[in-house]
Structure 1
Amino acid sequence: MTRLSIISLALLSASTVVSATNYWFSFGDSYTQTGFDPTLALPNTANPFGNPDFPGWTATGGVNWVGYVTKTYNNSVLYTYNYAYGGATIDAALVTPYQPTVKSLTDQVNQFLTGAGKKPAATPWTSSNSLFSIWIGINDIGNSYYNSGDRGAFSDTLLNAQFALVQKLYDTGARNFLFVNVPPIDRSPLMLAQAASAQTAEKTVISGFNTRLTAKVDSFKSNHTGVKTWIFDSNAQFTQILNSPTTYGFKDATSYGSAANQFWGNDYHPSTYAHKFFGQTVQTLLKGTIW
């Protein structure tokens, strides 16, 4: 499995090579959401997001990593079906989201399975021209790390639920998977306002979850024919930037706002300027593929 162990954050220029249309089916939470509604306009040449207008409804106040990859950092015409929903957990029955209307990863995958997953004429994706990405776990951990009981065992429960959904995607023909681990949200301004003990507890749970995620990805690839997997180590990239923010043009690692020198756009979400680095890293990770 290809893994981004040492992240290069050098600025990359957009590729000018254009190949056939490819399809990106994206799942996740507010770090990924763009407000896509699969019952409205589908991705097209005029708007590769389909709906809403680019860059969509994001938590960054601007383009997020999905937007950067879709429009700039790729090697193809890319139609992006972004089912991600702000506040999402893997399964609302395991970790309750902040509102009952939030579409969990389970809900998002079911949306895909009952729509584009049937490979309708309007969305002619194939196993070879499609990428499936999942960035989830931020809210699962943020809403539960402080609970009693074996947190490692609970991470296993969460990941078992996630990979049961990955299996469903595989069964429809998905073969190319990009997984994103949980970033150090213990270092977000929201958590920095909490006690140090809370930050330490959350960091420990994140570390255990990410280790288990890597093992799950390895196992899934080993036990499924024709699968290609990539892991975007967002935790390592966040850590690298937050440890030396001025190196990347940010004023510090703790404040937030709308200025171009802010890593955090608000107290829990990276800014659009930070997301540009994430998009560049995903391009580097997938370099040499159709993406």
Structure 2
Amino acid sequence: MKTVWGLFKARDSSLAGARDDSKLAADSDSPRPESLSASNGSQNTSLNTSTSPWPGFPALKDLFIFGDSYSAIGSASAVDWSRSRGGKHRELPFKGETYADADGTNWVGYLLAEHRDAELRVHGYAEGGARVSAVEAQVGAFLGGTAKPWDPARSLFVTWVGINDCAYAETHAETVGRLFHLEERLYAAGARLFLFIDVPPIGRSPAGMRASSDISATYTNWNDTLRSAVAAFAGAHPAARVLTFSASDTFTRVLDDPGRHGFAEADVSAAGGAMWRDHLHPTSRVHRILARDIAAFLTSVSLR
């Protein structure tokens, strides 16, 4: 089991103002990606606002990430991006270590590089191909003490899984139930800040478009089941701040209006193009939009 962690001091001006020479990010002449927040009709939620404080995104010190290839950040360990580069970002975090483009990074890297002014340690347990059964091992690695010490009031536990589970079933109550058994273990270990990310509309990916039948329903069922489980988990733990970010909303807006986000209409269904690196994984440009939306949401969450 990989346990990846790094210490980052974002945002250095040399990166924040730089153009991406590999054209993974939109250049100055292209439309800038639109960010989402909880205020513009998305399904993002923040539960237990009256019973559990939220420190604010800038005050977070540790980010624990469980899930699959969309969040995996490579196999290197003990990476200290702030000190090893003299306190300056001269490369994107996790460049070439993710399932996005080799010259880019994923949403985790962009979140650090473009949306943080303070140090943030990232503990990456996510692995490519992971299903909920693999998240059990990821949580086990965390509980084994690989990430101590950490402050419950300033540590956000992120879980983004389900894409691979949806390939094996059409309904997901049992699987999501197992996932929240793992979340209970995290809560028992002291976790109090949770972020759940739903699955994107994989039926609209190149893989989904080539499927022999419409596969959209299984992903919709996962998201509906996840939202119900999140609400139940929050209700059982009023001392926890429980957040949900809808990756489905982000992907849907980009797919529905690619031009507004700097893509061509042909990119919507093309594997190996500007939007999809392959049949299933988004490019760094899409991950950059995800990072902006996640940062906008986390910034919008009320402290009480």
Match of 1:125 in 2: 150
* CA-CA distance at 1:284 after TM superposition: 0.9
Contact 1:3 1:231 in 2 (8 A): no
Larger RCO (CA within 8 A; separation ≥ 6): 2
Residues 44, 79 of structure 1: 8 Å contact kept: no
Tell me the C-alpha RMSD between the 2 structures: 2.8
- Aligned residues of 1:181 and 1:232 also touching (Cα < 8 A): yes
Change (3 A) 1:215 1:43: farther
Deviation at 1:171, TM superposition (A): 0.8
Asked whether the 8 Å contact 1:69–1:283 carries over to 2, the reply is yes
**Residue equivalent to 2:64:** 25
Tell me whether 1:86 sits opposite 2:128 in the alignment: yes
Q: Give CA-to-partner distance per residue, 1:186-229, whole Å, 9 cap, x none.
A: 1111221222x2xx2x2111111111101111111111131111
2:296 aligned with 1:284: yes
Cα drift, residue 75 of structure 1: 4.9
Cα pair distance change 1:184/1:289, threshold 3 Å: closer
1:162 aligns with 2:166: no
CA 1:272–1:290: 2 relative to 1, 3 Å: farther
Q: Is 1:188 equivalent to 2:184 in the alignment?
A: no
Q: Tell me what 1:112 maps to.
A: 142
- The amino acid of 1:162's aligned partner reads L
Task: Tell me the CA shift for residue 111 of structure 1.
Answer: 0.7
On the 8 A contact 1:5/1:233 being kept in 2, the answer is no
Match of 1:231 in 2: 244
Q: Within 5 A, what are the aligned runs for 1:258-273?
A: 262-273=274-285
Q: 1:60 aligns with which of 95, 100, 105?
A: 100
Equivalent residues in 2 for 1:11-50 (5 A)?
A: 22-36=61-75, 40-41=77-78, 45-46=82-83
Structure 1 gaps of 5+ residues are 9-17, 92-103, 146-150
- Asked if the contact 2:60/2:155 (under 8 Å) is kept, the reply is no
Quick one: percent identity of the two aligned structures?
A: 31
SS at match of 1:138: coil
Q: Aligned partners of 2:257, 2:249: CA distance in 1, in Å?
A: 13
2:232 is aligned with what amino acid? S
Amino acid at match of 2:290: F
| Structure 2 gap segments, 5+ residues each | 1-36, 44-56
Note if contact 1:3-1:230 (Cα within 8 Å) is conserved in structure 2.
no
Rounded to whole Å, the distance in 2 between the matches of 1:5 and 1:112 is 35
